[in-house]
Amino acid sequence: MLASLYVFRGAKGDLIKIVWLDGIGMSREAKRLERGRFIMPQVRCCARGAQ
């Protein structure tokens, strides 16, 4: 069985949505913060020769 997880962050950073797909169906969850914001981790390129 193959499963996928997708995470989306709102532009202001106070909303996050998670979509989970498995072999049977789909589930979507959302969370809005009253204070603060969600911080996404920095993504660094790992390709050979890239800087």
pTM of the full structure:
0.62
Q: How far apart are CA 7 and CA 28, in angstroms?
A: 10
Asked whether residue 40 is assigned to any structural domain, the reply reads no
Residue 44 pLDDT greater than 60, yes or no: yes
User: Would 5 be classed as within a structural domain?
Assistant: yes
Is 1 among the domain residues? yes
CB 37 within 8 A of CB 13: yes
> Does residue 51 sit within a domain?
no
Give the pLDDT band (50/70/90) at residue 49.
low
Q: Which of 6, 51, 42 is nearest to 26 (CA)?
A: 6
Question: Is 9 inside any structural domain?
Answer: yes
Which residues constitute the domain of residue 30?
1-34
- Domain-embedded: residue 4: yes
Of 46 and 4, more confident: 4
What CA–CA distance (Å, rounded) separates 9 from 39? 9
| List of E strands, 1-51 | 4-9, 15-21, 26-32
Q: How many domains does the chain have?
A: 1
Q: Residue 1: its pLDDT value, please?
A: 64
Is residue 39 domain-resident?
Answer: no
